Amino acid sequence: MVSTLNKGVEEGYFRPEIDAKILATLRVAEIQMSFDQDFFSHQEYSLMEIQSHLLDHFIHGILTPKGLELFNTYKNQLIHEE
| Tens-place pLDDT, residues 6-37 | 999 999 999 999 999 999 999 999 999 999 99
pLDDT at 61: 95
Q: How far is 22 from 45, CA to CA, in rounded Å?
A: 27
pLDDT at 14: 98
CA angle in degrees (0–180, nearest 5) for 70-79-10: 20
Q: How far is 28 from 5, CA to CA, in rounded Å?
A: 13
What are the residue ranges spanned by the domains of the chain?
2-81
User: Is pLDDT of 81 > 90?
Assistant: no
DSSP 3-state of 78: helix
